[in-house]
């Protein structure tokens, strides 16, 4: 049985067709203007879900990048301080070796060496109390202003795993160094050692035996610098990997969210032609009025 087609039915169907074509044209116009594939999740739920996941991954990668940058600041500071400490201890060793030649040195010369050793001890202490944004790089997780007491040379830092930064989903790296391990502490510290050598020089005691003590402390500082260098290399690798991941995620986001400008313009022109054709067809098909029908 054929249903009855009335003018009202034709009008309503024509209006629905025009509205659909108009909505399609409006959507394409928005895409061309914003360069975005969709404005709301309801337009493309699958793409929206993918986009949310990609944005979450990008936020996580961006946080890793900040952690790596902060970690690099820490390990670079530690490396610089340990490098300067190595130079100071080498100078102290040379002075001690010079002071060991007691027969050729006058009391004035011994006093001059003693004063320089004390100056080196103070400089070494300053390096051991190096900070980054108010945090000591040799005191672990302690919030003490300095890793070592300037008078007693006691270690104020916290023992343990130290300051760590997460650089990936599965990897963390320590960015500080245990000051007690590198410089010793208290009476056994490098600072106290140099002051003791200075005191021995003033008293006329033999200081040749102290060279082995300086060598032992030098070995610890050099080993600390080597460990710090390995962490720095680890951070550099993580940084390169993080940048690569960030580029991949941005490409994936653009693939889902962005549109091909040329393709959208072609589709927009096509939609415009379809809409204009629909208008013309509708105008012709609905122009019959009641008088023309009766005639």
Distance CA(288)–CA(84), nearest Å, equals: 97
Model confidence at 122, in pLDDT bands (50, 70, 90)? very high
**Residues with Cβ within 8 Å of residue 73, at least 6 apart in sequence:** 132
Paired strand residues for 166: 172
Per the confidence metrics, is the pTM higher than 0.85? Answer: no
- With tokens 């022109």, the residue in question is 269
Residue 282: the pLDDT is 63
> Looking at the predicted structure, is the pLDDT value of residue 1 above 50?
no
- CATH classification code of 63-253: 1.20.1330.10
Separation between Cα atoms, residue 190 and residue 198, nearest integer Å: 12
- Boundaries of every domain in the chain: 7-35+259-294, 63-253
47-102 residue pLDDT tens: 778 878 888 999 999 999 999 999 999 999 999 999 999 999 999 999 999 998 86
Q: What is the pLDDT of residue 98?
A: 92
With a cut of 90, say whether residue 149 has pLDDT above it.
yes
Residue with tokens 């024509």: 14
**CA–CA separation, 162 and 195 (whole Å):** 29
pLDDT digits (tens, 9 = 90+) for 168-214: 999 999 999 999 999 999 999 999 999 999 999 999 889 999 999 99
69 Cβ contact partners less than 8 Å away, ≥ 6 residues apart: none
Mean pLDDT rounded to a whole number for the chain: 84
Q: Are 157 and 139 in contact (CB under 8 A)?
A: yes
pLDDT in tens, 18-47: 566 656 666 655 656 556 656 666 666 777
pLDDT in tens, 264-280: 566 656 666 666 666 66
Structure tokens at 223: 């080993």
On whether the CB atoms of residues 238 and 167 are closer than 8 A, the answer is: yes
What confidence score (pLDDT) does residue 40 get? Answer: 63
How would DSSP label each residue in 155-167?
B-SPPSS--EEE-
* pLDDT at residue 3 greater than cutoff 60: no
């Amino acid at each position: 049985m054929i249903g009855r087609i009335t003018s009202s039915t034709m009008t309503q169907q024509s209006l629905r067709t025009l509205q659909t074509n108009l909505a399609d044209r409006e959507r394409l116009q928005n895409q061309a203007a914003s360069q975005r594939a969709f404005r709301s999740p309801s337009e493309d739920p699958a793409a929206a879900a993918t986009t949310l996941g990609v944005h979450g991954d990008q936020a996580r990668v961006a946080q890793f990048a900040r952690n790596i940058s902060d970690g690099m600041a820490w390990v670079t500071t530690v490396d610089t301080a340990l490098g300067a400490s190595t130079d100071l201890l080498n100078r102290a060793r040379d002075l001690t070796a010079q002071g060991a030649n007691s027969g050729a040195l006058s009391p004035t010369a011994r006093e001059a060496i003693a004063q320089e050793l004390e100056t080196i001890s103070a400089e070494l202490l300053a390096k051991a109390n190096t900070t980054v944004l108010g945090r000591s790089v040799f005191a672990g997780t302690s919030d003490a202003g300095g890793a070592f007491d300037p008078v007693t040379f006691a270690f104020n830092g916290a023992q343990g795993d130290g300051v760590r930064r997460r650089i990936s989903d599965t990897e963390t790296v320590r960015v500080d160094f245990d000051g007690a391990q590198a410089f010793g502490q208290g009476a056994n510290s490098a600072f106290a050692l140099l002051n003791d050598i200075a005191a021995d020089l003033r008293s006329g005691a033999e200081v040749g035996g102290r060279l082995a003590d300086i060598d032992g402390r030098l070995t610890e500082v050099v080993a600390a610098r080597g460990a710090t260098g390995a962490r720095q290399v680890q951070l550099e690798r993580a940084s390169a990997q993080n940048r690569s991941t960030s580029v991949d995620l941005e490409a994936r986001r653009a693939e889902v969210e962005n549109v091909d400008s040329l393709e959208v313009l072609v589709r927009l022109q096509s939609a415009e032609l379809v809409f204009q054709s629909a208008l013309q067809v509708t105008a012709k098909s609905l122009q019959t009025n009641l008088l023309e029908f009766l005639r």
